Structure 1
Amino acid sequence: MTLLYFSMKMKKAVFSIEEIKRKLERYCVYQDRCHKEVEQKLNEYNLIPEARDMILLHLLQENFLNEERFAKSFARGKFKIKKWGRHRIVRELKIRDISEYNVKKGLEEIDADEYMEVLYTITEKKYNSFTKERELEKKRKLYSYLNYRGYETNLIYQVINDLFE
C-alpha cells in the first residue's frame, strides 16, 4: 500500500482595509477589548503601519475601543464571576498595559461592602473544605489561597482572625 503525501501551501486570505475594519469592529463588539489585544489581532493581517494606525484611529473614534470601559468591565467581571481581589485585578490589568488612571477607574467598580462580603464568603467556603488539619495549617492554607486570589494582606489577616475567634 502506497501512501501519498500532498504538500499544500496555506494561502493567506487578502482583505481590504474596510473588511479588516469590519472584522475588528465585530471583534470589539463581541467583548470589550484593550489596545494590546486589538494590536495582536491586527498583527495577523500583516498591514503596513499607516493602515494599522488608520484602523486603530477608526476604532477609537467610533468608540469600539475604549480602555476605560475595558478596565471597568474587566474589574467588575473578574470580581463578580471569579471572585478575584484587587491586587490580582490590578496585576492582570497591568499585564494588558492599562494606564494607572484606567486601573483606578476599574477598581472603582468594586463596592467595598460587597468586596468584604465576598472575602468572608470564600474564606468560610475554603475553611469548610479542609479536613483534619491543625489550626495553624488551616490558617496558612487560607492565607495562601486568599493571597493567590489577590486579596490584601491586612484584610486576609482580619478575616482569618475573625473566623478563628
Structure 2
Amino acid sequence: MDESKKRKKILTPLEAKGKAENYCAYQERAQQEVRNKLYEWGLHQEEVENIIVLLIEDNFLNEERFAKAYTLGKFRMKGWGKIKIKQHLKAKNISEPLIRLALKEINQEEYHKKIDETVKKKIKKPISSISFIEKSKLYTYLQSKGFENDIIYNKINI
C-alpha cells in the first residue's frame, strides 16, 4: 500500500466539530474520548479545547449524563458491580463526585437481585451444597465482576 492511502485526512476545525457532534449524538461520550478522537483527526490542543467547549455549550457533551448512562448500561447489560464500573469511569477521567453521583443511580434492590442472578447463572445448585473450593471460585468470579467483598461474603457465606 502506498503512503497516500495510509495517511488519514486531517480535518479542519469546522469539519471536526461537525464530525464530533455526530460522534456524540450517536451515543454518550466522555470528554476524554472526544478529545482523543479530535487529536486523532489531526487537530491541535487549542482547537480541540475550543471544540470541546462548543460541544458542552450545545449539550452534545455532558459528563454527568455520560457517567449515569455508562453506569446503568454496564450494570444492566454486562452485570458489572460498582467497583468495576468505578474503575472504568476513572480510566475515562470522570471526576470522583460524578462517579459517586452515577453510582447512586443503581437501585440497591436491583443490585442485590443482579448478584443473585449472577450466582444462579454460575452455579446450578444451592449455595449450601457447594464445596469450599467452589465457593472460593464463585467468590473470585464475583470479585472479577466488580462486586464488593462484604456483599459477596454475605451472599455465599464462606
What is the TM-score normalised by the length of structure 2?
A: 0.90
Match for residue 90 of structure 2? 94
Give the distance between the partners of 1:55 and 1:88, measured in 2 at CA: 31
The change in CA–CA distance for 1:87 and 1:154 in structure 2 (over 3 A counts) is: same
The change in CA–CA distance for 1:46 and 1:14 in structure 2 (over 3 A counts) is: closer
Structure showing greater Rg: 1
The change in CA–CA distance for 1:155 and 1:20 in structure 2 (over 3 A counts) is: same
Q: Which residue of 101, 105, 109 corresponds with 1:105?
A: 101
1:7 aligns with 2:33: no
Per-residue CA deviations over 1:89-123 (Å, capped at 9, x if unaligned) read 00111111110111011101100001001111111
Give the distance between the partners of 2:130 and 2:153, measured in 1 at CA: 17
Give the distance between the partners of 2:130 and 2:50, measured in 1 at CA: 62
Match for residue 3 of structure 1? none
What code does the residue aligned with 1:151 have? F
Give the distance between the partners of 2:85 and 2:2, measured in 1 at CA: 46
| Superposed CA RMSD | 1.9
Shift of 1:9: 2.5
How many pairs are equivalent? 154
Q: What's the % identity of the aligned pairs? A: 39
Q: Which runs of 4+ in 1 moved over 3 A?
A: none
List aligned pairs for 1:62-101, cutoff 5 A. Answer: 62-101=58-97
Flag the structure with higher helix content.
2
Specify every segment of 5 or more residues in structure 1 that has no aligned partner in the other structure, as ranges.
1-5
What is the TM-score normalised by the length of structure 1?
A: 0.86
Specify every segment of 5 or more residues in structure 2 that has no aligned partner in the other structure, as ranges.
none
